[in-house]
Every structure is written in structure tokens, then in C-alpha cells.
Amino acid sequence: MDTVYVHGLTVETVIGIFDWEREIKQKVVLDIEMAVDISPSAATEDIDRTVSYKDVSDRLTQFVQASEFLLVETMAEEIAALVLAEFPVPFVRIKLGKPDAIANAADVGVIIERGQKPA
């Protein structure tokens, strides 16, 4: 299995548990890695035979901008579920960072890996 990825997708959204966080938008940064067999698209140069990182980026940007989660954990779970439901991938790895959350840290967040449930 190969990997199609998007790293450093930056989106502003409402995220956080504190009252002041519910009143502003904060930056979150996503790294998404999706298991994909790229050989069909490589052999034919047909974008429809792979997962378009542009389509994934556009969809996740729309989703995250419209969301208002309390926890990055919940946001990461929902992003993983969306990718698995809307794109033909059996596995996704999500790194979700909230770079401005801790004054003396470059970034904080979660990394999760999720796969399709067996039929």
C-alpha cells in the first residue's frame, strides 16, 4: 500500500474548552496520510484512479472551518471518520496540532490512526 498525504494544512476554527476560546478562531494544523494503491493512477495518469489530495484538502478545510469542537481529540476522530467515509481509503493517519495553545511550545495535539471496520 502506498501513501497519499497532505502535510501542514492550516485552518482557522473555533476549538477549545475555555470560554474565551469559544469566542475566537484559532489555527489548527493537519497532517493527513492515507493508504492508497497508486499503481492504477500511475499506470494510466488518470486522477480518477487515485485519491486527490486537493479534494481531501478542500473537504477537510470546509469541515474544520464549520466545526466548533471542544477537544482536538474529538476533531481528530471526526476528521478520520470523514476521510474513511468519503474517500476510498482503508487507513488514515491524522496529526492534528494546535500551535498557539501553549506559550512555550511550538505545537501540541494528537496523532491517531484509524482503519475501515471489517465488513
Residues forming the active site: 98
Identify the sign of the CA torsion 54, 55, 58, 59: negative
28, containing H or E segment: strand 26-36
Does residue 94 contact residue 30 with C-beta atoms inside 8 Å?
yes
Per DSSP, what are the bridge partners of residue 35?
Answer: 3
Nearest to 30 by CA among 41, 50, 67, 47: 67
